[in-house]
Structure 1
């Protein structure tokens, strides 16, 4: 799953629960390198037939352009998916932080006593859309990049995390 509950680290006041969420990557970095390498090798087959002819110089710029375009598109996909949401729950405060390369870091805070986790089965930008709302705080989305099944699982886990017994 592209989210993970983290064990609280030792410190002054560790959170009682911490959740990290990130978009799923179907192509890891090693797969990216292999894909570009295999694509470049496959382009060598048509080039080998025209080695030593003037046709090579006509094909070579297009083959290099296509290889660069594939590389650039995959790099952009990685940058666009470079999102990390961190939810920390203390007894007196909840902090949701969203970091993305496109926007400055966004932070939302509320009192956990008043936080309500809502699952919007329809009407949201995605099915089973999850939001958090505090008493008089704006409503924020969480995990919108997860699949519908993962959001349903996360909904039940968030309810457990917010309704677990408070430490004394």
Structure 2
């Protein structure tokens, strides 16, 4: 039986995927709103990169989910988890989900894999960093006003550490 952290994680990811795929419902929580906003900023800033990830979802949803799990493991292995890496991973998953949905495939397996990774495998890290309230406070602390957008994205990318170049390398050698 899933615990509260996994349920919250699954709800946040489902909301983000729905939003990413064109849903218009209001975010169910401040953390969901922060996730939508920060993910949108990152994806907008790095649009060519995330667009280039979409062909990776040409495979079946199961294979796309396996790729997501490998990317998550590599991000962790290359310096540990942080909020920037969590955000980059969610945006990467959203790009894969959009590509699957365009083909009529159900991207739910991606959300399941990512929720399990974050709320089960990374539970201790997530709890130590305040859970999704910690995510909300981290991204609100760094601001998101239009004047701060470049600084916000720079902060996110610095927090990700490994960055998109490392993710691109990982994808190229898969």
Q: Same fold (TM over 0.5)?
A: no
Report which of the two has the higher share of helix. 2
TM-score (norm. length: structure 1) = 0.23
Greater Rg, structure 1 or structure 2? 1
Structure having greater relative contact order (Cα 8 Å, sep ≥ 6): 2
Report which of the two has the higher share of strand. 1
